[in-house]
Chain A
Amino acid sequence: MEFRPKILSGGESRSDDQIMDAHRRQSPGAAMPGLPEGEDSPLVIMELLQRLRVKDVMRDHDIISVVRTDSMRFAQNLMKRNHISGVPVLEDRRLFGVVSVNDIITALEGGWIGEPCQKHMATSLVVLEEDMPLAFAIKFFQNYTFGRFPVLDKNRDFVGIVSQRDVMRVLMHELTNELARLEGKVAAPTRAQSVEKGDGALPYYSMRQFVVVHNDLSSAGKAANEIKRMMKDAGIDNKIVRRVAVAAYELEINICIHSVGGTITFIIDKDEASVIAKDRGPGIADVEWACQDGTSTANDWIRSMGFGAGMGLANSRRVADKFDITSKVPSGTTVMCTFKLKP
């Protein structure tokens, strides 16, 4: 039986942005997440949900499973013995389906409890991908009635299971640490700080997201400065740090002065760092023109603040190893600058 897991991903980050923007509007004094100034913002929770990955919370060992030829009775006994309400049907890390308590009850009622699982398991599955932000997993638990979700890697191989209890356990642990950090009781190891110096391995990749508010020039640049600090603390080469910081700064200023607002997302792993600037409009009609040196639509007020020289996109492209831009009028612009961390 050919099974293609139904992977729900992407497209939902916008709602996170909107939540963060809405919070920002309601609390104009609140700092952006992760910033050293005013770190007492409750936005740290939102930032935590974006920073943690599904693989940070999932169980990837001692997974109880059945194979397709096992009987429904076998699955029933397995679930009863281990006090669980569902088992994945697995063979060689490939996920074929899930047998749930409901399937067992139906089998008992229908008289096919002795038949193989492959005939009665659920095959239209909702699964999570291991690199999805934890916020996605939480939304899945809100949107579906399932108590747990199988987790697949990029090759669609089964890598673990995440339940609501798993999410709560890790989230409580991380929140406790975060609260302690905010209270100044412990040193603040960030994900980026766990990047080892030199050729050391990065245990997992790190992501931080910063909200950029339209025309709030007094705050513009905070995200870039924080990104610079994170990279310096992680022991990244100074020249690379500077290039990443310049791109982040230019893109942050661009969002601030040219868009209705957006986010700067910083992602780093052991090989690359990426800065993604995403705004919600009004979009750029002629992207090629906008990327040329000296082209600007900035007004006099912006110029009086030292910006609007029309160098933002050009500067970002100059310092990045890879530069991608997509824009649509009026929905917005996304710019991604990628930097290699090793020669």
Chain B
Amino acid sequence: MNIADIVKTLDGTLVAGGESDRQVGAVVANDLMSDVLLNDAEDILLLTSLASDQAIRTANIVGAMAVVVHNAKPLPQTMCQVADTLGIPLVSSPLSKYESCVRIHAFLEGEGKR
């Protein structure tokens, strides 16, 4: 699952950070950044409702492959700028985190990856 698949699956829009060929290695759905930092997985897709610069900076610390912000929350301009600077794809989705998890699970099941 790459960034194009994520955008399509979550009815999302790629708003910053640019395209990427990286594949999802693990999915983390969380709004607490310290919990995200606890995760040791590689190529994390971060699903969050936190529309702030810190979501992107946290994603960069753990080497996340992309960040998805849910419920069509308005994204601060600075958040998009940080995503562009750090080269982390930032996706806005109208779905809830729960719905995103369900769809991503179904997609990865279809790919034979869990």
- Selecting from B12-20, B21-29, B58-66, B89-97, the interface stretch reads B58-66
Least Cβ distance of A212 to chain B in Å?
A: 13
Determine if A126 is an interface residue (Cβ-Cβ < 8 Å): no
Least Cβ distance of A214 to chain B in Å?
A: 16
Cα-based distance from A245 to B40 in the complex (angstroms) = 13
Chain B 62-86: CB-based contact to A (< 8 A → 1; otherwise 0): 1100000000000000100000011
Most B-side CB within 10 Å, residue of A217, A238, A246, A318: A246
User: Which residues on the B side are within 8 Å of A228 (C-beta)?
Assistant: 60-61
Q: With contacts A37-B85, A246-B62 known, is A305 near B34, CB below 8 A?
A: no
Main secondary structure of the interface of B (DSSP, over half): helix
Flag if A309 contacts B63 (CB, 8 Å).
no
Determine if B37 is an interface residue (Cβ-Cβ < 8 Å): yes
Flag if B60 contacts A306 (CB, 8 Å).
no
Complex partner residue of B34 from A37, A221, A312, CB under 8 angstroms? A312
User: Which residues on the B side are within 8 Å of A238 (C-beta)?
Assistant: 63
Flag if B38 contacts A221 (CB, 8 Å).
no
Least Cβ distance of A282 to chain B in Å?
A: 21
Chain B 33-57: CB-based contact to A (< 8 A → 1; otherwise 0): 1110110000000001010111101
Known: A224-B57, A228-B61, A246-B37. 10 other contacts (CB 8 A): A218-B78, A220-B54, A220-B57, A225-B61, A228-B60, A242-B61, A305-B50, A309-B32, A311-B38, A318-B38
- Which residues does B use to contact A, with CB under 8 Å? 31-35, 37-38, 48, 50, 52-55, 57-58, 60-63, 78, 85-86
* A-B contacts, 5 listed (Cβ < 8 Å): A221-B58, A225-B86, A246-B61, A306-B48, A306-B55
